[in-house]
Amino acid sequence: PNICTVYEINETPDRLFFVMQFVEGQTLKKTINNKPMPVEQVIEISLQLADALAEAHSHGVIHRDIKSSNIMFTAEGEPVLTDFGIAKILSEVAHLSATGSVMGSPAYMAPEQAMGQPVDARSDLYALGIVLYEMVSGRVPFQADSPTAVMMQHISQPPPPPRQFNPQLPPAAEAVIQKALAKDPAARFNRVSELAAAFQAAVTSSEITLVNALFVRDPAATMVSGEPTAHA
């Protein structure tokens, strides 16, 4: 329900075209309007977007252009992910882009994507982390005079702490976003659903719950005095 429906794919003598669902509402970019959104609303939107991306990823589809202007709202206020125009199909027979090419929107681009390296679901997770950052702070983390300069910031610079722009954001929620925006894909969450769940826990639960969500990866975590020990 949170992915824009394609009803038909066809062509005329001079072009290919999609017949798509008409989404009446405005984009998430316009909804943010350079101001932080209430965290409760951010949780609701991020959970639905994570569901949409998880569905795409389960079919081997990497969006590669997640950004707030590609997320629209229905008349009922439901977020809808649009524009799979540069999506990559992860299969041996599909070669939609070669290593070394760069496609996407610089402000939301994962470091490996900016360097023209192979992308996977963790690249979309990074972009969703940028959207989360934008929703809680009212701005994207990296801004510069040129797209190339923005991409270089993604590759080499840490993002400014989002609490710098929104002191009301819980520190635990900031930690979740920072993990999603790790330069190394292996240091991010494994799945978009884990990112959304960790953000929800960071806002609604204790710091201890967050620590477990961020760092406990071994199901058989060591028990000390009846409490699980987190493994960083």
pLDDT of 172-204, one tens digit each? 999 999 999 999 999 999 999 999 999 999 998
pTM recorded for the entire structure: 0.81
Output Rg (C-alpha) for the chain, integer angstroms: 18
42-68: burial string, b at 16+ Cβ within 10 Å, e else: bbbbbbbbbbbbbebbeeebbbbbbbb
Q: Which two tokens stand for residue 138?
A: 């009212």
Contact between 161 and 174 under an 8 Å Cβ cutoff? The reply is yes
113 CA to centre of own chain: 13
Catalytic residue among 14, 51, 65, 218: 65
pLDDT of residue 20: 87
Query: What does the chain come to in residues?
Result: 232
Q: Which two tokens stand for residue 182?
A: 């790790």
Residues of the chain short of pLDDT 70, as ranges, are 84-104, 206-232
From the list 18, 28, 20, 24, the residue with the least C-alpha distance to 4 is: 20
């075209």: which residue's tokens?
17
Residue 65: active-site member = yes
Q: Which residues pair with 223 in a beta bridge?
A: 228
